[in-house]
Chain A
Amino acid sequence: QVQLKESGPVLVQASETLSLTCTVSGFSLTNYGVIWVRQPPGKGLEWMGIIWRNGNTDYNSALKSRLSINRDTSKSQVFLKMNSLQTDDTAIYYCTRWYLSHWGQGVMVTVSS
């Protein structure tokens, strides 16, 4: 059974770094890529980036300078780090398996000024 679960702090101070973990089960990270998507309250979905099954990454152009996605295949975990947070980074952050077939429940992150 494929599952993904996001974890990390729910409250982060502005200008600090957000660190989130996506822990997966039921599949291998060497067989499927994992995508991060976020959704500000009451707004639409925003694609943040992907770590492909070979470990390569692609990022949203607007976030590229602040964002990094890495993984630990032995622990079945994918990591998102984004620095210089601002209040408009407040959102639900989801991880999802390529090709968007399975999603985590999401984690609501609030950036406080």
Chain B
Amino acid sequence: DVVLTQTPPTLSATIGQSVSISCRSSQSLLHSNGNTYLHWLLQRPGQSPQLLIYSVSRLESGVPNRFSGSGSGTDFTLKISGVEAEDLGVYYCVQGTHAPWTFGGGTKLELK
């Protein structure tokens, strides 16, 4: 199975600070159809996860454009340009290129 390694496990930020989260895959996530199925989720405390970014860099409808995704192959990054209080929670990367799908271990974003 594909292993996704997220770093850092915990991230402390002030409001307005820009932060990045890394997600590294144990194998390339480029599908034979040319797409890369690497997505990013946010789970706020006590809530269901929410899709932020799909297919590496595509912003889900309704998600603020301070969120952005980049990367290719095995290395991917989620960036938040100017953290807001509502962004606190746990971020997960997830791959859907190879069955079974797998999640990263999560990165908890806290207020400094």
A: residues with CB less than 8 A from B are 35, 37, 44-47, 49-50, 58-61, 94, 96, 99-101, 103-106
Contacts and interface: CB of A to CB of B under 8 A. Distances in A.
**Lowest 3 A-B CB distances belong to which pairs?**
A103-B48, A58-B99, A47-B101
Contacts of A60: 100
B80 interface: no
Contacts of B103: 44-47
Interface residues of B, number: 23
B49 interface: yes
Contacts of B50: 103
A101 B51 contact: yes
A100 B48 contact: no
Contact of B48 (A44, A61, A94): A94
Nearest to A105: B48
10 contacts: A44-B104, A45-B106, A46-B103, A47-B100, A47-B102, A60-B100, A94-B48, A100-B41, A103-B50, A106-B48
